[in-house]
Amino acid sequence: MPVQLDIEFPDDNQITLSPRFLEESDAVVTIRGRGNRLHVETPFAPNAAKFILSGGAAVIVGADTNLNQLVVTASAEGAVVEIGAWCSFNGCSQITAHERATIRIGAFCLFGPGCRIASSDVHKVLDVVTRERLNPAGDITIGDHVWAAGGVTILRNAVIGRDSVIGAGSLVRGAFPTNVSLAGVPARVVRTGVTWEF
C-alpha cells in the first residue's frame, strides 16, 4: 500500500521521499503550514511510520532504517529530528519535538518497543515570582550504536555516548559518556566499558 500523503501546501514545503518508501510503506505523512522539510531515504523494510510536521520543522531519516510503527512529531520552527542510517525501531515508539530544539540520533541505533524521545515538556513550568521558565526545551544527542531496550524514555538535554546500552524502562536525562550501561529512573551508570552487538 503506498504512503498516505496529506500536505497542506505541497509547493511551500521541501519533501524528498525515496521511491521505495513511497511505494512499499503503509506510512502516513501529514504536513501543515509552510517551510517544513521532510527527507526520508530508502528504508530497510516497509513500515507503518507516521510523520507529522508543522510550523517550519525538519525531519531527516537516513538510509536503511527500520521504522516499524515509529511516530515522529515536529511542530515548531527550528524543531529538527535527525535519524541516522541503519537505525531500527521495534514496535511503536515516539519522537516528539514540539519546540525549537534538535533531536539527533546516530547511525546503527536500536530501540525496543514503546520508547519515547522528547525534547520538551510542551507545557511551561514557571517560577511564581520571576515568571522564569524552569523547563525550557533542550537538544538531545544519541551517539552511534546505542541500544535502548523497551519502554525507555529520553528527555530534553540528554546526551548518550556511542556504544552504550540503556536498560528497559529507564528514564534518561543528563549527559553520559561512551560505552556505558544505564538503568533506572532516573538512569544512572551501572557499568562502564561495555558495548553490544546486533
pLDDT single digits (tens) 99-114: 999 999 999 999 999 9
Which residue, 104, 91, 86, 88, is CA-closest to 154?
A: 104
Q: pLDDT tens digits for 116-138?
A: 999 999 899 999 999 999 999 99
Q: Which residues contact 62 (CB under 8 A, 6 or more apart)?
A: 41, 83, 84, 85, 86, 87, 107
State the DSSP code for 3: P
Domain ranges of the chain: 4-161
DSSP tally for the chain: helices H, then strands E: 1, 22
Tens of pLDDT along the chain (198 residues)? 689 999 999 999 999 999 999 999 999 999 999 999 999 999 999 899 999 999 999 999 999 999 999 999 999 999 999 999 999 999 999 999 999 999 999 999 999 999 999 999 989 999 999 999 999 999 999 999 999 999 999 999 999 999 999 999 999 999 999 999 999 999 999 999 999 998
Q: Point out the catalytic residue in the list 39, 98, 123, 145.
A: 123
- In DSSP terms, 37 is beta-bridged to 14, 58
C-alpha distances in angstroms, 164 versus 24, 130, 144? 32, 39, 9
Class of domain 4-161: mainly beta
Expressed in percent and rounded to 5, the helix, strand and coil fractions of the chain are 5, 40, 55
The predicted model scores a pTM of 0.95
Query: Is 123 known to be catalytic?
Result: yes
- In DSSP terms, 92 is beta-bridged to none
